[in-house]
Amino acid sequence: MYTGLLHLHSFLRWVILVLALVAIYKSYVGMTSGKPFTAGDKKTGLFLMIAAHITLLIGIYQWVVGPWGLQNIENMGFGEVMKDRVARFYAVEHLTGMLIAIILITIGRGVSKKAIPDVVKHKKTFWFFLVALLIILVSIPWPFRTGIARPWF
């Protein structure tokens, strides 16, 4: 089960990246050309948030049960984990970065429910999702990242 969930966690990154790009593009076009904030825009944000929250739940499970989170801290001690680049990445940096990004996505999605002008909705959504996307991009253990590298899928 652990391996299956790890694959799902890994695959969901692509769903999140695609949805974030679509949402950012839509809000950019919306704010620059004064388009209304449509039900479609709302749905893109909702699906992005759902994908991020499922990834978060699987991530918490992996962190608590798997070898790279809590277990590593218990085995090595927090001080040693912080000194080891790879252990620190999975036990602290990946979790912290992704948590911040998911909070930003959740706030960004909440903007669509507020009673504010559509152009402001587009603007706020754009910035929340853009910053979240950048944090996600630097927090993913891409195959080209030495030491922490993981497969594309």
Given candidates 20, 24, 98, 104, which one binds ligand HEM under the rule CB under 6 A? Answer: 98
Write down the least CB distance from residue 137 to ligand HEM, Å.
Answer: 9
Given candidates 27, 44, 62, 112, which one binds ligand HEM under the rule CB under 6 A? Answer: 62
Given candidates 20, 26, 44, 69, which one binds ligand HEM under the rule CB under 6 A? Answer: 69
C-beta of residue 44 within 8 angstroms of C-beta of residue 28: no
The candidate with the shortest Cα–Cα distance to 140, out of 100, 89, 83, 102, is 89
Write down the least CB distance from residue 26 to ligand HEM, Å.
Answer: 20
How many residues bind ligand HEM (CB under 6 A)? The answer is: 28
Given candidates 49, 101, 104, 130, which one binds ligand HEM under the rule CB under 6 A? Answer: 101
C-beta of residue 114 within 8 angstroms of C-beta of residue 121: yes
The first and second tokens of residue 96, run together, are 């912290």
Q: Is 137 in the site for ligand HEM (CB under 6 A)?
A: no
φ and ψ at residue 98, rounded to 5 degrees: -65, -35
Q: How far is CA 151 from the centre of its chain?
A: 18
Binding span for ligand HEM by CB under 6 A among 40-48, 60-68, 74-82, 107-115? 60-68
Instruction: Report the chain's C-alpha Rg in angstroms.
Output: 17
DSSP string over 118-140: HHHHHHHHHHHHHHHHHHHHHHS
Q: Is 76 in the site for ligand HEM (CB under 6 A)?
A: no
The first and second tokens of residue 107, run together, are 């706030």
Q: Give Cβ neighbours of residue 67 (< 8 Å, ≥ 6 apart).
A: none
Q: Is 71 in the site for ligand HEM (CB under 6 A)?
A: no
The residues that touch ligand HEM, with contacts defined as CB under 6 A, are 6, 9-10, 13, 16, 52, 55-56, 59-60, 62-63, 66-69, 90, 94-95, 98-99, 101-102, 136, 140-141, 150-151
